[in-house]
Amino acid sequence: MATYLVTQATGNQSRWVITHLLAAGAKVHAIVRDPSKTLPDVLNRPGVTIFKGESVNFDEVFRAAQGCAGVFLNTFPVPGVELQQTKTILEASKKAGLKSVVVSTVMAAGEKAMWDDAITEENDMLEYYRSKFAVENAVRTGGLEAWTILRPAFCHYDYMLPTCHGNFARLASHGELDHFYDEGGRMPQTDTNDIGKYAAAALQDPQKFAGQAIEITSENLTIEEVRDILVRVSGRDVTARRRTPADGEPVPGHRFQKWANVKDFSSVMQSAKEAQAKFGIPFTPLEEALQRDKSRVLECLPAKV
């Protein structure tokens, strides 16, 4: 069975990719910044070989890429660094003889008309989207035989520790979804497991998925709908409250919520619907995803007093 290179291997998305590759009988070369730290369980499974490395270090990536057929590319979202990571990984992969790349970016990254505007800049999202757009262009022109782009929306792990802190400052401490959504505001939701499914499928059958940019989202939910799902899954008290200036400095994820208030994601949802029909891999509703990972949801939310 083939071997595949996975970057940012300790991250949530990469872990699901590795899970599905191993389930298919493949082997994985996993790049980890510090192997001396406690690693996620999936990285300790048979079939996974750990390589110490940084995504911006050509020699380290090249060493890990030896013997691999394709690469899952997941970058750290810092403008400038993100593109440098992408180019380094692509160049090292090409030199090592890899044939395909699957990259994860963000929903609507290819719809420049949606984000290349003053509103996006006002919400401090323009450089973020420009960076993702540049990553996609680098992948398309990177010289590998096949490329596939996956575009997740708001990932389900962002309702869990530790990433909830960057999206809802009071969720873990108070069971509160403190947010900036306007009434009726919606956000497309992504089960990270679905990223793993599609990435593993594309790596194993690169010609079927070659040249495809796939929006990965199941539902476009209001924050009240998300709250109700968290209550049903956890059996605990969860509230949703719009933040005010008295709440202090917002966390990074709040800018995405403000931006979502003025954007129409119907094209994203339609594209996702078409992808499911085309490839036969259904997307998972948020409630089903959180129910599957209920232990992590309970770990995040305060227990009832």
Per residue in 28-78, pLDDT (tens digit) is 999 999 999 999 999 999 999 999 999 999 999 999 999 999 999 999 888
DSSP letter at 211?
Answer: T
Residue span of the structural domain in which 108 resides: 3-155+191-217+264-283
Count up the domains in the chain and report the number. 1
Q: Which amino acid appears at position 132 of this protein? A: K
Domain membership of residue 180 (yes or no) is no
Domain membership of residue 274 (yes or no) is yes
Domain membership of residue 201 (yes or no) is yes
Domain membership of residue 268 (yes or no) is yes
Residue 62: which CATH number? 3.40.50.720
For residues 282 and 219, what is the distance between their CA atoms, to the nearest angstrom? 12
pLDDT at res. 304: 81
Continuous segment of H or E residues that includes residue 74: strand 70-74
Distance between first and last Cα of the chain: 51
Domain membership of residue 236 (yes or no) is no
For residues 301 and 98, what is the distance between their CA atoms, to the nearest angstrom? 43
Domain membership of residue 33 (yes or no) is yes
- Give the predicted TM-score (pTM) of the model: 0.97
pLDDT at res. 241: 98
Domain membership of residue 41 (yes or no) is yes
Domain membership of residue 142 (yes or no) is yes
For residues 114 and 107, what is the distance between their CA atoms, to the nearest angstrom? 11
Per residue in 158-217, pLDDT (tens digit) is 999 999 999 999 999 999 999 999 999 999 999 999 999 999 999 999 999 999 999 999
* pLDDT band per the 50, 70, 90 thresholds, residue 305: low
